[in-house]
Amino acid sequence: MAAAGAPTLLKPGGQRARTNHHQPRRLRRPTPRVSCCSTASLAATKSFMTRTHPPPPPPPPAPSPHRTRNGAEILVEALERRGVRDVFAYPGGATLEIHQALTRSRLIRTHLLRHEQGEAFAASGYARSSPPSPTARPGVCVATSGPGATNLVTALADAHLDSVPLVAITGQVPRHMIGTDAFQETPIVDLTRAITKHSYLVLDVTDIPRVINEAFFLATSGRPGPVLVDIPKDVTQQTAVPSWDTPMRLPGYVSRLPKPPSTDLLDQVIRLVGDARRPVLYVGGGCSASSDELRRFVDLTGIPVTTTLTGIGNFPSDDPLSLRMLGMHSTVYANYAVDNADLLLALGVRFDDRVTSKAEAFASRAKIVHVDIDPAEIGKNKQPHVSICADVKLSLHAINAMLQQQQHKINLDFGAWRSELDQKKSEFPLSYKTFGESIPPQCSTRFTNGEVIIATGVGQHQMWATQYYTFKRPRQWVSSAGLGAMGFGLPAAAGGAVANPGATVVDIDGDGSFTMNIQELAMIRVENLPVKVMVLNNQHLGMVVQWVDRFYKANRAHTYLGDPRKESEIYPDFVTIARGFGIPAARVTKKSEVRDAIEEMIATPGPYLLDIVVPYQEHVVPMIPVYGAFKDIILDGDGRTSY
C-alpha cells in the first residue's frame, strides 16, 4: 500500500526541506460546525434537477460495506460518510470516473460551475458562510488534472491565507505516466504544497477512505485550511473492498494540537483587564465560532471591539461598543482606539500588515494579549506580553466563568474611555460627498437589507461594503481578505447561496472583479439561486486608480476598463450580458433611482444583476498609507484633486 507523497516545504529564504507527511505545517483553528441542508433546499434542487436532467433513476439498493467497487465510488462514499452534501466540480478526462460515481450518489448534489477557479471560490463561499452545527461542512471541489487542477491554485491560496476549510480533489494522470509529461499532467501536489495545509497523492485505492478522513480532519481541526487530494485516474478505476475503519495516521499533528488554556495565563489576562484603563478588543476570523462567548465577555467587561476584515460580523457592527473594522481603510475611531489603548486583547488575529501598517508603531502604548490556536502566529509580526496558544472559544468561555466568579473582586469601569471613543465617533463619522445626481458608491452598499449575506470582489467597492453595511452576525461576510483575489465575489456568492438555502446573497462587486468570473452567471441562473449581483461600475480598476492618483501623480497606467473609442458609453454592457445568461438586469445612473432599483433587485425572485454607474474619481477614505502609522491617516480627498 503506497502512502501519500512526502511533502517538501519551501522555507523562508527559498531552501527546500523534507517534512514528515504526518505533520502538516501549521496547526490551525477548529472549524465552525454546520448543519445539513433544509428540506426546502433539497426540494429546490430537485426541481432544478428535473428541469435540466432526465428524471434520476430509482435509487440503487444500499451497498453492502463488503461489496467490491472502484476507487471513484469509494471516494464518493467516503465523502458521503463525512457528511458532504454539496460538491462544486468541473469534469475532465482524469475525473470521468469520479463524475460517474457522483451521478449515482443519493446524498451529494454536484454543482457545475463554469470555471475551476469559480468552483473553488464557490466551495470557499460555502465554507465561509455555512451556519454552525455539529457536522463540519468544509467546501469540497473536484477538478481534472493539468489545467483543471492549476485553475484551483488561486482559490487554494486564498483559503490558506483566510483559514477556510476546503477539500480539493484533483484527478491525476495514471500512475505509470506520472513524471512523463503526459497529456494534462501537472505536479499539483508540488505546486500547492506551500498554499495548502497538506497535499496528498493517493497511490493505492485502499488508501482512499483513510486519506479522505484525514483530509477532512486536517481541513477542519486546529486552524482550518485547504487540503488537496490528488488521485490518479487508474486509482479511481482500481477496484477494492473498502475498509472504512482504517484509523487516521496523524500522530505528529494530533499531538501538536493546542491544549486547553492554562488557568494561570487566563488569570494573568484578568489581572491585566483589571489594571487597564483603555482596553480594546481586536477580533479576527479566528473568532467566527466564538461570537456568543465574545458577546458575553463584552457584556461582563464593557470593552469596545474592533474587528479585522475576516472578523467582520463576529460582533454586530451597529452595537454601541463596536468600533467597526481597524486598519488601512477603516474608521478613525477604531485606529485611534488601538493607537491610544493601554491593553490590546487580540483574539484569533494575525497582525496582518493591512491592519498594523508600520508594525512597530501599532498599539505601541498597549500591553498585548494574543490568543490564537496556531503557535506559528504568536510573535510572528508583533511580540505579545501574554500569549495563549489555544482555542479562542475555550479561552473566552473560561475567562467569562472566572470573571463571573470574581465579579465582586474586580471593579471594571471603562466609562471614561468609552466616552472618549464616542467623542471620536461623532468627530470622525464615516462620510462621503455627493455630486449632483451622480451615485455615491458608498451609499449603494447601505441600502441593502442588513439581513442578507454579502459577498464582494476586491477593490474600492469591497472597502465601502465594510464601511457602510451593517453586519449583524458571523458568516454573513464572504470576502477574499488575505489574498485579495479579484473574481471572488460571484462564485463565492453562489457557494453562499447553496450553503444557506432560502437566504439572499448580494455580491457587491466591482466591474473589474466581476468580469474575472462573469461566466458563473450561468451557474446562478441554471440553479436559480437568489444571488443578486450589484456592480459598482466605475469603468475603472478603481482601487488602482486611487493609488495612482495619490502616489504616482495621477499617471493612469492601464486602469481604464471601458472602450477608449467611446468613453461616453458604458462598456461592456453588463445588462445585455446578464440577459444573455437569462438573468433579469437593470442599470441606474442617478442617485434618485438607486433605492427603488435595489428594492426591485431584492424583490425579484432568483438571480438579478444591477449595474450601478458610479464616478471613478472617488477615493476610499480614511486611509493609512502602507508603512504609515495612525498619525499619517488621510481623511479626505478624491481623484478630482492633484496630490
Ligand X SMILES: Cc1ncc(C[n+]2csc(CCOP(=O)(O)OP(=O)(O)O)c2C)c(N)n1
Which of 510, 530, 562, 607 is the binder for Mg ion (CB under 5 A)? 510
**CB under 5 to 8 A by kind: which of ligand X, Mg ion, none does 453 bind?**
none
**CB under 5 to 8 A by kind: which of ligand X, Mg ion, none does 543 bind?**
ligand X
Active site residue 471: no
Total residues in contact with ligand X, by rule CB under 6 A: 20
CA torsion through residues 568, 569, 570, 572, sign: negative
Q: Does 513 bind ligand X (CB under 6 A)?
A: yes
CB of 537 to Mg ion, least distance (A): 7
Output 225 or 441, the one with its CB closest to Mg ion: 441
Question: Are the C-beta atoms of 504 and 532 separated by less than 8 Å?
Answer: yes
Output 110 or 538, the one with its CB closest to ligand X: 538
DSSP letter at 438? Answer: P
Active site residue 184: yes
SS (H, E, C) 558-599: CCECCCHHHCCCCCCCHHHHHHHCCCCEEEECCHHHHHHHHH
Q: List all residues 6 or more positions away from 137 whose beta carbon is below 8 Å from its beta carbon.
A: 33, 34, 35, 83, 84, 85, 126, 127, 130, 499
Exposure string for 89-117, b = 16+ CB within 10 A, e = fewer = bbbbebbbbbbebbeebeebbbbbbbbbb
Output 258 or 459, the one with its CB closest to ligand X: 459
List the x/- string, 470-489, binding to ligand X by CB under 6 A: --------------xxxx--
Q: In what order do the strands lie in the sheet with 198-201?
A: 109-112, 86-90, 139-143, 166-172, 226-232, 198-201
Output 317 or 479, the one with its CB closest to ligand X: 479
CA distance 139 to 129: 10
Q: Does 511 bind Mg ion (CB under 5 A)?
A: yes
Q: Does 457 bind Mg ion (CB under 5 A)?
A: no
Q: DSSP per residue over 126-191, as a string? A: HHHHPPB-SEE--EEEEE-TTHHHHTTHHHHHHHHHHT--EEEEEEE--GGGTTTT-TT---HHHH
CB of 89 to ligand X, least distance (A): 22
CB of 173 to ligand X, least distance (A): 28
Distances (CA, A) of 617 to 99, 441, 540, 569, 620: 48, 11, 10, 17, 10
CB of 489 to ligand X, least distance (A): 9
The one segment of 32-40, 144-152, 454-462, 598-606 that binds ligand X by CB under 6 A: 454-462
Active site residue 406: no
Distances (CA, A) of 403 to 273, 367, 493: 10, 20, 40
Question: Are the C-beta atoms of 224 and 138 separated by less than 8 Å?
Answer: yes
Active site residue 543: yes
Nearest CA to 507 among 608, 619, 614? 608
| Phi, psi values for residue 426, rounded to 5° | -80, -25
The one segment of 143-151, 399-407, 536-544, 605-613 that binds ligand X by CB under 6 A: 536-544
| Dihedral angle over CA of 424, 426, 431, 433, nearest 10 | -120
Output 116 or 207, the one with its CB closest to ligand X: 116
Catalytic residue from among 116, 214, 377, 527: 116
Output 117 or 462, the one with its CB closest to Mg ion: 462
Which residues are registered as beta bridge partners of 344?
280, 368
CA distance 471 to 482: 20
The grid coordinates of residue 617 equal 474619481
**CB under 5 to 8 A by kind: which of ligand X, Mg ion, none does 485 bind?**
ligand X
Q: Does 117 bind ligand X (CB under 6 A)?
A: no
Catalytic residue from among 184, 237, 268, 519: 184
The one segment of 67-75, 145-153, 452-460, 465-473 that binds ligand X by CB under 6 A: 452-460
Exposure string for 429-439, b = 16+ CB within 10 A, e = fewer = ebebeeeeebb
The grid coordinates of residue 308 equal 479585522
Which of 146, 225, 440, 510 is the binder for ligand X (CB under 6 A)? 510
Residue with cell 493517493: 202
Output 130 or 538, the one with its CB closest to ligand X: 538
Of all residues in this chain, which one has the CB nearest to Mg ion in the complex? 510
Active site residue 183: yes
**CB under 5 to 8 A by kind: which of Mg ion, ligand X, none does 522 bind?**
none
Side chain identity, residue 155? A
CB of 623 to Mg ion, least distance (A): 17
Q: Does 456 bind Mg ion (CB under 5 A)?
A: no
Output 396 or 545, the one with its CB closest to Mg ion: 545
- Burial environment of residue 187 by CB neighbours within 10 A (0 to 12, 13 to 18, 19 or more): middle
CB of 158 to ligand X, least distance (A): 10
CB of 582 to Mg ion, least distance (A): 25
The grid coordinates of residue 396 equal 473566552
Output 146 or 510, the one with its CB closest to Mg ion: 510
Output 121 or 336, the one with its CB closest to ligand X: 121
Q: Does 542 bind Mg ion (CB under 5 A)?
A: yes
Output 43 or 557, the one with its CB closest to ligand X: 557
Nearest CA to 89 among 452, 97, 81? 97
Catalytic residue from among 183, 380, 406, 437: 183
What is the number of alpha carbons within 13 Å of residue 71 lying toward its C-beta? 26
The one segment of 33-41, 259-267, 356-364, 451-459 that binds ligand X by CB under 6 A: 451-459
| Phi, psi values for residue 457, rounded to 5° | -85, -155
Catalytic residue from among 185, 197, 214, 233: 233
Which of 177, 544, 570, 577 is the binder for ligand X (CB under 6 A)? 544
CB of 353 to ligand X, least distance (A): 15
The one segment of 265-273, 445-453, 519-527, 539-547 that binds ligand X by CB under 6 A: 539-547
Q: Are strands 239-240 and 69-70 parallel, antiparallel or unpaired?
A: antiparallel
CB of 85 to ligand X, least distance (A): 30
Q: Does 541 bind ligand X (CB under 6 A)?
A: yes
Q: Does 538 bind ligand X (CB under 6 A)?
A: yes
| Dihedral angle over CA of 598, 603, 609, 613, nearest 10 | -10
CB of 610 to ligand X, least distance (A): 15
Nearest CA to 345 among 273, 288, 420, 399? 273
CB of 557 to ligand X, least distance (A): 11
Tell me, rounded to whole angstroms, the distance of Cα 558 from its chain centroid.
29
Residues in contact with ligand X by the rule CB under 6 A:
457-461, 484-487, 510-513, 536, 538, 540-544
Residues in contact with Mg ion by the rule CB under 5 A:
510-512, 538, 542
Active site residues: 116, 183-184, 233, 543
